[in-house]
Amino acid sequence: GENVEQHPSTLSVQEGDSAVIKCTYSDSASNYFPWYKQELGKRPQLIIDIRSNVGEKKDQRIAVTLNKTAKHFSLHITETQPEDSAVYFCAARRTTDSWGKLQFGAGTQVVVTP
């Protein structure tokens, strides 16, 4: 089955700096890679996703890059703000999985200090 590894487990950044979280996946049949943000005491929410036919996707201050050959994808947050503090989860889904199951990484606790 799919295995997703996420690094780092914690990330502390100064406000205004950039943050990068990296994930690797094992199953070359995976074709959909979402990123979820979970603020303290809240539900996980999708912030950006990318499909295997795209190398990069941006949405304002966040971007995701995908390297299919190396089987890794990354989340980039620029100009970080205190409200970016949260746990971020990457995930992968196999193209052949009709159940829509996601394999999640272990999460990255991001702390943005003013």
Q: Which of 7, 20, 22, 49 binds other proteins (CB under 8 A)?
A: 49
Q: 24 to 43, contacts with other proteins by CB under 8 A? A: 32, 34, 38, 40, 42-43
Name residues whose C-beta falls within 8 Å of residue 50's C-beta, 6 or more positions apart in sequence. Answer: 32, 33, 34, 56, 57, 64, 65, 66, 73
Q: Check binding of 52 to other proteins (CB under 8 A).
A: no
Contact positions vs other proteins (CB under 8 A): 1, 32, 34, 38, 40, 42-46, 49, 87, 89, 93, 98-107, 109
